[in-house]
């Protein structure tokens, strides 16, 4: 029997083909050249579709369009240079005997098919990602690659998966069919290793030069963040985000001598009701004296998924989707100028539990050496509270369970703790808010029966794509959009307070409702402040008189404010302050992404960025417009002191509880 494993493939499908024709072809790298052209065309189409999607926000002019497409082409070329590297190595070092064998033909066909599928899938995925977040692939996409269970099921429940994948498969198969002659020609060309090294070496030039001289900030061609996103390449942005998940502050950002930073920081953190415990410049521990009788009230903090202030009627929304929260606003201490520190759940939980500004790179919740930090949970535990974290999904997501269990929380409840009979409804992200609140009430009842005050932190999931929830609860059908998800979340909060009102511990409980972040963070400016504004309600009818507070603040101020309401004196390493004690203009708010660090004070915003770049803006809260302004050295000094100080304390493990 004849062995075809290494038989040269000289008899190809096209009857008009001759071997002499093959010798005129550029050899095995022809396939790579075809893909290079296809990748550039596909990237051009993707960029144009995304541009049309945000055309109003970009406000394009001819010069800006030229910059977008020119820089976009540059990043597309760089991206392909990186993507092509493994294929280049394969084509260089695979011997002719194997490359030209009959058995290699189906391998090449399959490789071309799968690569085409990958390119098409990347473009489709980027469209949906841009539709939700207003940016190219970034650190959020990196997280999505890690937490595959939630993400895969979220995609299945949110998007027309079968039609999309069917279309990708058909187009990829058609591409292989149309390229079959060129593929066959490329697979019969003889070549020596020296020839292949010479041809393939050209493909190494792009990634080598790019590694040394090119980085994502080169795509920043405008003050308009949408234009900058369009000028980038999604695949390049994805790998840049993966590489920059951890960023050393002093290496990349404007910095000062560490002692000067902490001298400034201690001055900024000092309040009239606080005293530092010692003269160590690196120790920010203060004794906070809260006057009045100490109230050992239970504290329940409900962190609502993606609850932007703009959805509430009290902030001007006319759709009537938050009737319960609008009512609670009139019965609570209601904070109308509160800001999330970031755009992800882990950033919100980090700010609320640790009371620190966002450090660059990934959240502290997901970084190494994040145990035994000075946290709200550790503080409440030291005061004799039963501490709990309750989440409707699986707590490995965003490293929640590990972080809270190592930072003062005694009892963790997540999706794995729900029995079949405790779940009315669930989707990719977890059980419905109703189920979570019902379970939480049962947990709080246990603490009450053991005669211990409790501190509970609840993280909800329902206000999230795919926007599904139990039918019959509200007048908007499930899976029809964000308004329905918001109204269901509002319904669940109303039912939660109604059910909790029947419990004996309700009267002596302080309820805090706040969002983890806004539903969207994209805008024309690099840090659109208006997309960081979230509501904060502190509700306890028996102990708090309703009032409205419009003091500028951020999530890091919640813990100190609640401790002030409880009248409890304590030693603090929090960066936040009691909002009710703040004088106008005393302190700013912190807003940021994984890379850009913003500090907002009154109507001024400074943004610290990598390469030690700083930019200054005037912010108009009424219009949401930020306009560039001249540098403010005082504002810059405060921003550096807060951000560099927070990073230094974590990196040097100086913010440990009891340390």
Q: What is the pLDDT at residue 9?
A: 47
Least confident range from 114-123, 251-260, 576-585: namely 576-585
Least confident range from 126-140, 145-159, 231-245, 428-442: namely 145-159
Instruction: Report the C-alpha gap between 359 and 560 in whole angstroms.
Output: 20
Q: Say whether pLDDT at 521 is over 80.
A: no
Mean pLDDT for the stretch of residues 321-329: 98
| Class of residue 450 by CB neighbours under 10 A (exposed 0-12, middle 13-18, buried 19+) | exposed
Least confident range from 132-146, 211-225, 251-265, 612-626: namely 132-146
Q: What is the pLDDT of residues 477-491, one digit of tens each?
A: 999 999 999 999 999
Least confident range from 205-219, 402-416, 630-644: namely 205-219
**First vs last C-alpha separation in the chain:** 78
Instruction: Report the C-alpha gap between 198 and 275 in whole angstroms.
Output: 71
Residue 295's pLDDT band (cuts 50, 70, 90): very high
Residue 244's pLDDT band (cuts 50, 70, 90): low
Q: What is the pLDDT at residue 262?
A: 98
199, two tokens:
């041809």
pTM (predicted TM-score):
0.82
Q: Say whether pLDDT at 8 is over 70.
A: no
Q: What is the pLDDT at residue 93?
A: 92
Instruction: Report the C-alpha gap between 61 and 303 in whole angstroms.
Output: 42
CATH pick for 298-524+564-568 out of 3.30.70.2190, 3.40.720.10, 3.90.1170.40, 3.40.640.10:
3.40.720.10
| CA–CA–CA angle 228, 234, 237 (5° rounding) | 75
Mean pLDDT computed over every residue of the chain: 90
| DSSP state for residue 623 in the 8-state scheme | T
Instruction: Report the C-alpha gap between 395 and 414 in whole angstroms.
Output: 6
The residue extents of the domains of the chain are 19-243, 247-289+577-659, 298-524+564-568
CA 469 remoteness from chain centre: 23
Q: What is the pLDDT at residue 422?
A: 97
Instruction: Report the C-alpha gap between 325 and 190 in whole angstroms.
Output: 73
By percentage, how much of the chain surpasses pLDDT 70?
93
Q: Say whether pLDDT at 471 is over 60.
A: yes
Q: Say whether pLDDT at 312 is over 50.
A: yes
Decide if 247-289+577-659 and 298-524+564-568 have a common fold.
no
Among 566, 624, 556, residue whose Cα is nearest residue 591? 556
The answer to whether the beta carbons of residues 427 and 157 sit under 8 Å apart is: yes
Neighbours of 591 (CB within 10 A): 27
CATH class belonging to 247-289+577-659:
alpha beta
Q: What is the pLDDT of residues 425-448, one digit of tens each?
A: 999 999 999 999 999 999 999 999
222, two tokens:
């405008």
DSSP assignment of 69-103 equals HHHHHHHHHHHHHHHHHHHHHHHHHS-HHHHTBTT
Q: Say whether pLDDT at 240 is over 70.
A: yes
Q: Which residue has the higher pLDDT, 212 or 341?
A: 341
Least confident range from 431-445, 503-517, 606-620: namely 606-620
Residue 110's pLDDT band (cuts 50, 70, 90): very high
Among 103, 110, 93, residue whose Cα is nearest residue 194? 93
Q: Is the peptide bond before 148 cis (omega within 30 degrees of 0)?
A: no
Rg (CA), the chain: 28
Instruction: Report the C-alpha gap between 207 and 88 in whole angstroms.
Output: 12
Among 562, 438, 433, residue whose Cα is nearest residue 502? 438
The answer to whether the beta carbons of residues 518 and 306 sit under 8 Å apart is: yes
| Class of residue 261 by CB neighbours under 10 A (exposed 0-12, middle 13-18, buried 19+) | buried
Least confident range from 58-67, 218-227, 244-253, 277-286: namely 244-253
Return the H-helix or E-strand segment holding 426: strand 426-427
Q: Say whether pLDDT at 522 is over 70.
A: no
């Amino acid at each position: 029997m004849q062995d075809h494993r290494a038989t040269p493939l000289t008899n190809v499908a096209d009857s008009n083909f001759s071997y002499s024709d093959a010798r005129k072809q550029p050899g095995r790298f022809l396939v790579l050249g075809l893909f290079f052209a296809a990748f550039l065309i596909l990237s051009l189409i993707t960029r144009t579709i995304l541009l049309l999607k945000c055309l109003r926000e970009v406000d394009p002019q001819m010069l800006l369009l030229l910059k977008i497409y020119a820089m976009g082409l540059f990043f597309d070329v760089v991206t392909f240079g990186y993507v092509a590297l493994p294929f280049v190595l394969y084509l260089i070092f695979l011997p002719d005997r194997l490359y030209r064998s009959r058995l290699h033909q189906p391998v090449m066909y399959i490789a071309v098919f799968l690569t085409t599928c990958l390119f098409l899938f990347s473009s489709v995925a980027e469209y949906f990602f841009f539709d939700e977040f207003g940016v190219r692939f970034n650190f959020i996409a990196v997280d999505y690659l890690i937490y595959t269970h939630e993400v895969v099921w979220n995609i299945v429940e949110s998007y027309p998966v079968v039609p999309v994948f069917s279309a990708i498969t058909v187009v990829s198969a058609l591409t292989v069919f149309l390229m079959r002659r060129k593929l066959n020609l490329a697979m019969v060309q003889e070549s020596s290793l020296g020839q292949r090294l010479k041809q393939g070496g050209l493909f190494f030039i792009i990634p080598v030069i790019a590694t040394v001289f090119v980085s994502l900030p080169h795509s920043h061609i405008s003050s308009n963040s949408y234009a900058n996103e369009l000028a980038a390449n999604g695949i390049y942005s994805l790998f840049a985000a993966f590489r920059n998940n951890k960023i050393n502050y002093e290496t990349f950002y404007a910095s000062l001598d560490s002692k000067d930073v902490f001298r400034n920081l201690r001055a900024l953190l000092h309040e009239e009701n606080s005293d530092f415990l010692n003269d160590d410049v690196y120790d920010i521990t203060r004794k906070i004296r809260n006057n009045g009788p100490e109230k050992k009230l239970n504290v329940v903090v409900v962190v609502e998924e993606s609850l932007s202030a703009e959805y509430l009627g009290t902030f001007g929304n006319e759709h009537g989707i938050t009737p319960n929260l609008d009512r609670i606003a009139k019965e609570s201490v209601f904070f109308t100028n509160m800001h999330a520190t970031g755009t992800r759940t882990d950033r919100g939980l980090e700010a609320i539990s640790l009371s620190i500004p966002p450090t660059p790179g990934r959240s502290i919740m997901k970084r190494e050496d994040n145990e035994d930090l000075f946290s709200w949970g550790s503080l409440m535990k030291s005061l004799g509270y039963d501490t709990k974290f309750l989440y409707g999904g699986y707590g490995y997501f965003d490293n929640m369970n590990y972080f809270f269990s190592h930072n003062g929380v005694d009892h963790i409840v997540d999706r794995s703790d729900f029995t079949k009979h405790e779940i009315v409804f669930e989707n990719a992200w977890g059980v419905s808010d109703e189920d979570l609140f019902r379970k939480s009430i049962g947990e709080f009842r246990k603490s009450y029966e053991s005669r211990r005050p409790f501190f509970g932190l609840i993280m909800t999931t329902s206000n999230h794509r795919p926007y599904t929830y139990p039918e019959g609860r509200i007048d908007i059908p499930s899976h029809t959009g964000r308004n329905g998800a918001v109204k269901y979340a509002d319904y669940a909060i109303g039912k939660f307070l109604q059910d909790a009102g029947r419990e004996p511990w309700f009267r002596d409980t302080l309820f805090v409702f706040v969002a983890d972040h806004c539903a969207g963070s994209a805008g024309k400016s690099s840090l659109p402040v208006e997309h960081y504004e979230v509501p904060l309600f502190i509700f306890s009818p028996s102990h708090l008189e309703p009032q409205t507070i419009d003091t500028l603040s951020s999530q890091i101020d919640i813990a100190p404010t609640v401790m002030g309401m409880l009248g409890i004196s304590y030693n603090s390493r929090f960066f936040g302050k009691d909002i009710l004690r703040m004088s106008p203009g005393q302190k700013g708010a912190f807003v940021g992404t994984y890379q850009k660090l913003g500090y907002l004070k009154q109507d001024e915003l400074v943004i610290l960025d990598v390469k030690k770049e700083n930019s200054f803006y005037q912010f108009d809260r009424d219009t949401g417009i930020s306009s560039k302004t001249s540098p403010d050295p005082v504002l810059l000094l405060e921003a550096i002191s807060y951000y560099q100080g927070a990073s230094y304390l974590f990196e040097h493990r100086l913010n440990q509880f009891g340390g």
